[in-house]
Amino acid sequence: MRDVMMKAQALAEAILNSGVYQRMHELEELVTRDEAATRAIADYMEKRSAVEAILRDPDMDTARLAQAGQVLSQAEQAMNDCPMVKDMREAQQKYNDMMENVNRILRLVVTGETEDEAGCSGNCSSCGGCSSCGGCQ
């Protein structure tokens, strides 16, 4: 059991030291310091909360919901158009992809199966390589 826990800690440290994680963390920090990005995110969150409040109302007004949904879509587009947010989201997606690949490899080694055969099988010859995760190099 101790060996498993030590290997898990080593894996966690490898993830923290990976370029994928470092880039994501760096961009998340930059976004929190960027006024335009934080304003766009806050505006989106405010509009999303408004839609959620309408949805919770037992006497929901569908016209009001449609209007709030349109305003939310506009706020989301504005947030996604912010270069800093766009970069952060791309980095987060690369990190998520890396973690999914790590989980697939663990599942393959432990169970001999993968959840979906279209995903990473742990054998880079089937997909041409793991350049996004760096796990098989």
DSSP notation for 15-48: HHHSHHHHHHHHHHHHHHH-HHHHHHHHHHHHHH
Within-domain flag for 49: yes
- Tens of pLDDT along 10-48? 999 999 999 999 999 999 999 999 999 999 999 999 999
| Residue 122, pLDDT above cutoff 70 | no
- pLDDT band (50, 70, 90) for residue 121: low
Structure tokens at 119: 């995903």
pLDDT tens string 74-113: 999 999 999 999 999 999 999 999 999 999 999 999 998 8
136 located within any domain: no
How high is the pLDDT of residue 93? Answer: 97
Q: The pTM is what?
A: 0.70
Q: What is the number of other CB atoms lying within 10 angstroms of the CB of residue 31?
A: 19
> Does 44 reside within a domain?
yes
CATH number at residue 65: 1.20.1500.10
Instruction: With a cut of 60, say whether residue 54 has pLDDT above it.
Output: yes
Cα–Cα distance between 122 and 10 in angstroms, integer?
Answer: 19
Distance, in Å, from the CA atom of 15 to the CA atom of 99, rounded to the nearest integer, reads: 9
C-beta of residue 108 within 8 angstroms of C-beta of residue 121: yes
Provide the number of structural domains found in the chain. 1
